[in-house]
Amino acid sequence: MSLFDSIMAGFALVGNFNAFLSLFIGIIIGVIGGAIPGISATMAVALALPFTFPMQPINGILLLLGVYKGGIFGGSIPAILIKTPGTPASSATILDGHPMAARGEAGRALGMALWASCTADLISNLSLILFAGWLASFALNFGPPEFFALMLFSLTIIAGVSGDSLLRGALSALLGLLLATIGLDLVYGTNRFTFGDPSLMGGLNFIAVLIGLFAIPEVINMVWHPTGHIGKVQSLGSKWVTFADYKRSFRSIVRGSFIGVFLGSIPGIGAAPAAFLSYSEARRKSPNKANFGKGEIEGVAASEAGNNGVAGATLIPLLALGVPGDVITAIIIGAFMVHGLQPGPMMFVMNVDIIYGLFIGLIFSSGLLLIVGSLAIRGFRPVADIPKRILMPCVLVLCIYGVFAVNNNIFDVGVMFVMGWVGFVMSRYHIPAAPFLIAFILGPLLEDNFRQAMLMSGGSPEILLRGPITWFFWALTVITVVAISRGTLNKAREPG
């Protein structure tokens, strides 16, 4: 079948009202799910999965993809408005989105988040269509040493989100790495800091740590200084994102989209590291780097481009190799199987109409996301106008339900409370929370891949430099560390 025939077959499959309605409903469910802290895009996809069983395969899968894409954008809404990321992928959006909301530019931040999300989504979908086979075969060459080198390079992101002091950022990251060691050792199954408590054997729940670190300190801060917010504006504001803003951030959006595409095509990385890496790169390259972390619109654009760039790319290994790129695509692979489809190279031969139908649906999804997202921003507008001393108890209760719902475990609520106090103390001592979170995400991946590589080589470190992929990432790491060291020394030499 020629390319033209394949595209026509795809059009025949999705060129109907039901297919677009499924996609549209999926995006609405995703945006709402992503906007409620604790639901997350993953949970929204899992909740929607059973509803797709009686549907046509293409419609059901489009609905789930709509939920996925809507969920990743939806997470930015509470991240910007109430400093509580709806999904882990939106953690980086807080860094500049919330300071913008605090000075009355929530509408502008949300608008940029939407535009950046839609652009990144489109780039990600086009990349999926153009590079599915090539990128998937590249990602297939990744073993533990390559992953270790990639994770090590990803840890250099910390320098970009450390704020005023690199050492305080490093301390924060080390605390995150330390907390990530809690639980059973993955190689030998022995206890590490579990104190005999079975609840700690699986490690600390990521969502509980994330919400505890970012949302609860805001509540505690309000208790410490109940009138501290008076005089500080917190509303959508009359300022809206302009084309000039978009144009100014366009390079960061495109760069972030490709970072998302690259990391998304490698199984197991996920959207959160992509968002942080994109943010860090935008900060490094921006002429306004001093404003990053204080409410820079380019920071919002970069974070959202990074996490949305992942959404289409995670389908590359899924469709080309049958390997899910992240948790959400692992759920979506279930939908394929329920409908008697087996993602992988053979699907490009046996079900080429479905492959091209999905590609066409995904291209339209970016436009639908723009429509649904614009309505959602206005729909969630009242959140910005709620008095803060009513909003904070709402946030507390929402966090309790959200964290509990992830694992149906009250222990996680306790972890969230404890992490809230850790986050509060960190904020009083000006220790940035973002490096903690990045290290907490990357720590287990770094350690596992390091130890797997060592097991493979019998303890010889030479395996960590075994091929061009590892050399590439090691070189990037060295260049970045040298650049960071030079920057820090130059800053220290500056008078005043």
Partner 1 sequence: MNNRTLQVHLGIGACLVGLFLILYGIPNWVSSPSNVPKIILSPLFWPYTIAGLTGLVGLGLIVFGRGADDDDIPVNDPIEDPGTGVVRLAAMAVLMMVTFWAMPRIGMVWASMGAFAALAFLVRTRHPKIALTCAVLVPLVLYAFFAHVASVAIPQGNYVRLP
Q: Interface residues with partner 1 (CB under 8 A)?
A: 39, 43, 47, 165, 167-168, 170-171, 174-175, 177-178, 181, 185, 187-188, 190-195, 219-220, 222-228, 387, 389-390, 392-394, 396-398, 400-401, 404-405, 408, 410, 413-414, 417, 420-421, 428-431, 447, 451, 454-455, 459
> Could you give the CA distance from residue 127 to residue 314 in angstroms, rounded to a whole number?
11
Would you say 167 or 346 has its CB closer to partner 1?
Answer: 167
Angle CA 391–393–396, to nearest 5: 110
**Which letter does DSSP use for residue 192 in this model?**
E
Distances (CA, A) of 33 to 75, 165, 213, 376, 386: 8, 36, 21, 12, 21
| 3-state DSSP assignment of residue 285 | helix
Nearest to 391 by CA among 84, 85, 103, 82: 82
Would you say 226 or 467 has its CB closer to partner 1?
Answer: 226
Radius of gyration of the chain (CA): 22
| 3-state DSSP assignment of residue 316 | helix
Nearest to 444 by CA among 266, 245, 268: 268
Least Å distance, CB 340 to partner 1, is 26
Pair of tokens at residue 405? 């719902």
Least Å distance, CB 293 to partner 1, is 16
Distances (CA, A) of 161 to 176, 236, 299: 14, 26, 11
Would you say 52 or 127 has its CB closer to partner 1?
Answer: 52
Least Å distance, CB 49 to partner 1, is 12
Would you say 327 or 405 has its CB closer to partner 1?
Answer: 405
Least Å distance, CB 177 to partner 1, is 5
Would you say 141 or 181 has its CB closer to partner 1?
Answer: 181
Least Å distance, CB 222 to partner 1, is 5
> Could you give the CA distance from residue 217 to residue 177 in angstroms, rounded to a whole number?
20
Would you say 8 or 47 has its CB closer to partner 1?
Answer: 47
Pair of tokens at residue 293? 């972390």
Least Å distance, CB 485 to partner 1, is 13
Nearest to 217 by CA among 423, 488, 430: 423
Least Å distance, CB 389 to partner 1, is 4
Would you say 133 or 414 has its CB closer to partner 1?
Answer: 414
176 neighbors 435 (Cβ within 8 angstroms): yes
Pair of tokens at residue 241? 């994102």
439 neighbors 173 (Cβ within 8 angstroms): yes
Would you say 418 or 476 has its CB closer to partner 1?
Answer: 418
279 neighbors 95 (Cβ within 8 angstroms): yes
Least Å distance, CB 288 to partner 1, is 24
**Which residues lie across from 183 on neighbouring strands?**
192
Least Å distance, CB 165 to partner 1, is 8
Would you say 353 or 447 has its CB closer to partner 1?
Answer: 447
